[in-house]
A = this chain, B = another copy of it.
Amino acid sequence: MGTGVLKRYKDLLPITPSTPIFSLGEGETPLITAPRLAEKIGCKELYFKFEGCNPTGSFKDRGMVVAVAKAMEEGSKRIICASTGNTSASAAAYGAYCGLESWVVVPKGNIAMGKLAQALMYGTRVIAIEGNFDEALSIVRALVKSSPITLVNSVNPYRIEGQKTAAFEIVDELGKAPDMLCIPVGNAGNITAYWRGFVQYCKLGKSGSTPMMLGFEAAGAAPIVEGRVIESPQTVASAIRIGNPASWQGAVQARDESGGIIDSVTDEEILESYHTLASDVGVFGEPASAASLAGLFKLARGGTMDLSSKSVVCVVTGMGLKDPDTALKTRADIIETPAELEAVRNALGL
């Protein structure tokens, strides 16, 4: 209950006696069971790890709290990141809490409305470049080489360290590792972090196994699946609209060591799962988050893997409220009536 990952997983994180311990309440997110959907898909158990319940509405908070704590420990006064939106919101929030100056570089016109609102409200300075995420990341990487600013993208190793805690929580809650983990892949830091977390917990004896890692890129932004950098990535799932993932190798390692796959799902499949997740499970994730479920549906349809004995966890990386435009664009059936009992009764067909 707001203990925070620094305190809860102190012994498993790179914390020293001089690391400041603080929290906005990140972590301890719900693991929601979905028995009806499990039956429909044909797997034994199905859970959604809903990272939208983090304080800035995405999984980024787990790693950001560690990265910012370490920046403080090192005496840094300024943090910077490139972002498709979630990282910038998280950096801005923890920067605000700790009294650090924060700067974010985002692709102009390609960041969901809610995420932009967050960065501005938390008081960060927002630079929108006429380019994509990959270019933004190159720029900030170059920038920190010559200026005393801490880079808090997931190339900062403390980010990945903190994000491991989501894997710890899943094992803590289930009492074992799931058989399979479905996860969206964009910059690939999260699949890298989950895999390290599962491996570490298994080595510590907290679980007897590690899950098969199933990562899903968007079809228009699938560099790992296609084995090449995508110059102009395109997908409705803006959080994973990335053509040259910083943690490419980490993702490949997670896939290979776990005997898993990295596959792609189309925007149509993503949007279908986006709606299913909300209307069948009551979980409103952002479009990119639905890549997990879309991938699981694809796998089930493919029929190459027997899911009937499997426990599956799908990671829902961020809150649907981050991107209200996509929601309203794809669903817009409001019935308007006068403020009268009979009118409402008729509208409801009663």
Binding site for B on A (CB under 8 A): 1-2, 23-25, 28-32, 36, 50, 52-57, 92-97, 99, 103, 105, 108, 113-114, 116-118, 120-123, 125-132, 135-136, 139-140, 142-143, 147, 169, 172-173, 275, 278-284, 319-322, 324, 327-328, 331-341, 343-345, 347-348, 350
Q: How far is the CB of A46 from chain B (nearest CB, A)?
A: 13
Q: How far apart sit A93 and B281, CA to CA, in the bound complex (Å)?
A: 8
The answer to whether B281 touches A336 (Cβ under 8 A) is: no
Given A139-B339, A331-B120, A339-B131, A57-B24 contact (CB < 8 Å): no
Tell me if B126 and A335 are in contact (CB < 8 A).
yes
Task: Find A327's partner among B117, B282, B343 (CB 8 Å cutoff).
Answer: B117
Measured between alpha carbons, how far is A336 from B126 in the docked complex, in Å?
9
Residue on B nearest A52 in the bound complex, by CB:
B55
Partner of A129, one of B139, B275, B339: B339
Q: Are A142 and B55 in contact (CB under 8 A)?
A: no
Query: Which among B130, B275, B345 is the interface contact of A339 at CB below 8 angstroms?
Result: B130
The reply to whether A29 and B57 form a contact with Cβ atoms under 8 Å apart is no
How far apart sit A32 and B53, CA to CA, in the bound complex (Å)? 15
| CB-based nearest B residue for A36 | B99
Known: A121-B279, A125-B348, A128-B334. A1 touches B284 (CB 8 A): no
Q: How far is the CB of A319 from chain B (nearest CB, A)?
A: 6
Q: Are A120 and B332 in contact (CB under 8 A)?
A: yes
Assess whether B36 is in contact with A30, with CB atoms less than 8 Å apart.
no
Which residues of the partner chain B approach A127 to less than 8 Å between Cβ atoms? 334-337, 344, 347-348
- Can you list 18 A-B pairs, Cβ within 8 angstroms, ordered by A? A1-B31, A2-B32, A24-B50, A25-B29, A36-B99, A53-B55, A56-B284, A57-B321, A93-B282, A96-B279, A96-B280, A105-B344, A113-B328, A118-B320, A121-B275, A122-B279, A126-B334, A127-B335
Decide yes or no: A55 and B331 within 8 Å by CB, A2-B173, A99-B36, A337-B127 being known contacts.
no
- The answer on a CB contact under 8 Å between A143 and B345 is yes
| Additional pairs, 15, CB under 8 Å, beyond known A122-B282, A142-B341 | A1-B30, A1-B173, A25-B32, A93-B278, A108-B336, A114-B321, A117-B321, A120-B334, A121-B320, A122-B278, A126-B334, A127-B348, A128-B335, A129-B343, A130-B339
- Establish whether residues B93 and A284, one from each chain, have CB atoms under 8 Å apart when the complex forms: yes
A350 CB, min distance to chain B CBs, angstroms: 5
- B96 contacts A281, CB within 8 Å? yes
